[in-house]
Structure 1
């Protein structure tokens, strides 16, 4: 039996997250249906992360086991003909038997995008958080950097999944402006439920003057979710990069 890793991307607007749901359509369910048609057997995928409803992925890795002998280089084209246009498989590789898209992942990067303009842009609907008041990206970057390091991130998580520990390591958390688009990029060895969206809401609170960037370490130490900012909407969040020991799976796709 072969173990196949896929590099894919998706617009999550129409989906109830990555994970298969009982009553809602998900990215995994849709991809598995297409793979099953191509491989001629029931396929189950393991994804590198559980993106929430409405969240996107510019770079995502999943793996599945199959007895099919279809050449690996043909898999992307074959699968893409059986899935909607808002999910695209870019590449496929045969990987080690023990490779697991989530268990083998070393770290991940998420990007939260804010469209900071007085006038809405229809091309960013469900793809960036529209914020009409001018934001100070320098102050926001100062606030974002306060999250870097190893901390208990219970104050910036939503209750939704049970985890053994809420301690994670953030390698970088930065804010940059590109014209009217602000990007908060955060890379960590793992993420809690709604963690990036809560970090974004807290950074926005700092920009609004509701807290100081220097207040953030005390908020993290408190573990109190009510002291941090709100959870930002899902449409602005993207999984943008993943890292593995198998370097074929690393990097980002320029779009």
Structure 2
């Protein structure tokens, strides 16, 4: 059975997350249902695997999954056909590619990239509702950069790890945390860009929630380093809500989609 990689974009708002769950809508189920209608060789009960199992409300602009199909497909035709069968779900296949039989969307990945959008303004968001986290106070982006610097490199991230995380080890290497600031009418948008080989459950949301406290002036930047060293979940700042989080890309040893 030929294996295909799929680059997927979705609005996570209507879903319980990526992973299929009983009696709950999921992105995985939406894609699998489209595949089963399209390719009879994609057997009933067959599963697809993704690079990241995003939580409820989390979005993606560059999720990657793989599927074993019943026949060879032209990648463009496969993309077009899947998008037809995915309607009206807010899920789109951006690209498809034939990959080696030993390719695995999760285990072959060498890095994952997430972005988080935070808007600071008094007036409620309208057009961006459900796609950003909003606070009503100004944030000091430079202070947040100073706090984030404590998290770069290889560390025990127990403090920033969910209590239900199933990873075997809390030790991860954070390759990059880049913080952008943009002026918007009557406020500011802060964008957090994080890059690592892999992340712990709720790690990004825990980090962003903690850095927001730094930007608000409630935490000194050095307190981020102290929280990290504590290896204690109780030392973490608030975990921010999911709607501002986006899985933006997955890296592999060789290019898959020509980008």
Query: Which structure 1 segments of 5+ residues have no match?
Result: none
- Cα deviation digits, residues 58-104 of structure 1 (max 9, x gap): 11110011122332220111011111341000111000110000000
Aligned twin of 1:199: 207
Query: Secondary structure of 2:250's match?
Result: strand
State how many pairs are aligned: 251
Query: In the alignment, which of 236, 254, 258 is matched to residue 246 of structure 1?
Result: 254
8 Å contact from structure 1 (residues 107, 190) kept in 2? yes
Residue 105 of structure 1 pairs with residue 99 of structure 2: no
Q: Which moved more, 1:208-217 or 1:156-165?
A: 208-217
Aligned twin of 2:25: 25
Query: Secondary structure of 1:197's match?
Result: helix
8 Å contact from structure 2 (residues 148, 224) kept in 1? no
**Deviation for aligned residue 1:119:** 1.3
8 Å contact from structure 1 (residues 141, 176) kept in 2? no
Query: Secondary structure of 1:155's match?
Result: helix
8 Å contact from structure 1 (residues 243, 249) kept in 2? no
Aligned twin of 2:156: 152
Q: How does the TM-score come out when normalised to structure 1?
A: 0.94
Question: Mapping of 1:214-253 within 5 angstroms?
Answer: 214-249=222-257
Q: How does the TM-score come out when normalised to structure 2?
A: 0.93
Q: 1:75 to 1:113 in 2, by over 3 A?
A: same
Provide the alpha-carbon RMSD of the alignment.
Answer: 1.4
**Deviation for aligned residue 1:115:** 1.1
Query: Which structure 2 segments of 5+ residues have no match?
Result: none
Query: In the alignment, which of 158, 163, 169 is matched to residue 167 of structure 2?
Result: 163
User: C-alpha distance in 1, partners of 2:235/2:158?
Assistant: 11
User: C-alpha distance in 2, partners of 1:146/1:47?
Assistant: 30
